Amino acid sequence: MAADRFAARRQKLLHGLKGTGADALLVTNFTNVTYLTGFSGDDSFLLVSKAATVLISDGRYTTQIGKECPGLDRCIRSQKESTIAATAGVICQARVQKLGVESESLTVAEHEKLAAALKSQTLIPVAGAVEELRLIKDAEELVEIRKAVRQAEKGFEVLRAELRGELSELEVANNLEYSMRQFGARGASFPPIIAVGARAALPHARPTSCRISEADFVLIDWGASATSGYKSDLTRVLVTGKISPKLEKLYRVVLNAQLAGIAAIRLGVRCCDVDAAARRVVDEAGFGKHFNHGLGHGVGLDIHEGLRFNAVSTEELKPGMIMTVEPGVYFEGWGGVRIEDDVLVTRTGCEVLTSTPKEFEQSIIQ
């Protein structure tokens, strides 16, 4: 069944290539290779054509490819042969004349070497062909992302129960990833962001030796990567000390903005309109200039993939897309508040996949 699913994806890819002028695609983005074959390794290319589908790899992965991609043709290059040389040989053997190459993945140096090795073939830059397919998650993908969400949430429950003032941001981050692994995750979907007090003004803060007790709140941005590679992405703020009026006000504004954004998600709505719905709440509260990033992004095999919720994205939402909704308000020297959930677009609206409590009263650690 799995092999049929990957074969169907490759057929959709070939159908989508018709408008590019290419009769085959060389897939060099390792995540795209995984999406099209189920192979979870790296350093491997995939040729997809009507005549042949061949995974080009090396001896480290011979057994793994056999287990993960039974029946898939492969070219295992020798240690003396480069990936480009092996790839050129496969392309010539498949008699491909107009080769599409992933222009957003293949480096300039690789392109030059491949062009030199393929003197009679035409290389055609193709952007986003596989990524377009990845926008819509199928039933199996939804199962895996739901699993990643649950693993992240269970890890967070442990973090919250064990949170102590003497712990550093780095210790909390390490403990969180360990807990997610204990619940079956491959690991964190990205290095967890643990930002105490003023450091929460840094949307991508890296954990430090700063201790939880050094401020009255902590921002936690984290996610789990399931063993399949599918990811989740969440953010919560926990109140660990004195409840200041400013913190409570900002928290409620951000939460209301997030709820407004989620309420705007439905079939056919433009991404920029979802962003505007949330941003309007922040603007009306007088904090618009402190909301300095887009509202969200797609998530799947990559933590950032596909569409974006921002002011300029006019793409329309379709059922099966999974997007984060994560408004934030930041003040240098004071800190910031961001609340994030993973949301599935459905035919009748949307479904919030994450269930970790986020009401202000629920964020208070006694």
The residue ranges of every structural domain in the chain are 2-133, 139-363
pLDDT tens profile 101-111:
999 999 999 99
Predicted confidence at residue 1, as pLDDT, reads 47
Class assignment of domain 139-363? alpha beta
Going through the chain in order, the beta strands assigned E by DSSP cover: 24-27, 45-49, 53-58, 73-77, 98-102, 122-126, 187-188, 193-196, 217-222, 224-225, 234-239, 296-298, 305-309, 322-325, 328-331, 335-338, 341-345, 350-352
Q: How far is the C-alpha of 57 from the C-alpha of 45, rounded, in Å?
A: 7
List, for residues 51-107, the tens digit of each pLDDT value: 899 999 999 999 999 999 999 999 999 999 999 999 999 999 999 999 999 999 999
Residues 168-200 have pLDDT tens digits of 999 999 999 999 999 999 999 999 999 999 999
- The CB density around residue 291, as the number of other CB atoms within 10 Å, is 23
The fourth-level CATH superfamily of domain 2-133 is: Creatinase/prolidase N-terminal domain (3.40.350.10)
- In this structure, what DSSP letter does residue 216 have? S
**Beta strands at 335-338 and 305-309: parallel, antiparallel or unpaired:** unpaired
The reported pLDDT for the residue numbered 366 is 74
Q: Look-up: residue for tokens 């609206």?
A: 349
Are domains 2-133 and 139-363 of this chain identical in fold? no
pLDDT in tens, 300-354: 999 999 999 999 999 999 999 999 999 999 999 999 999 999 999 999 999 999 9
Examine the pLDDT at 243 and tell me if it is beyond 50.
yes
The whole model's pTM is what?
0.95
Q: Indicate the residue type of 304.
A: H
Helices within 56-168 (DSSP H only)? 62-68, 83-93, 108-117, 129-134, 139-162
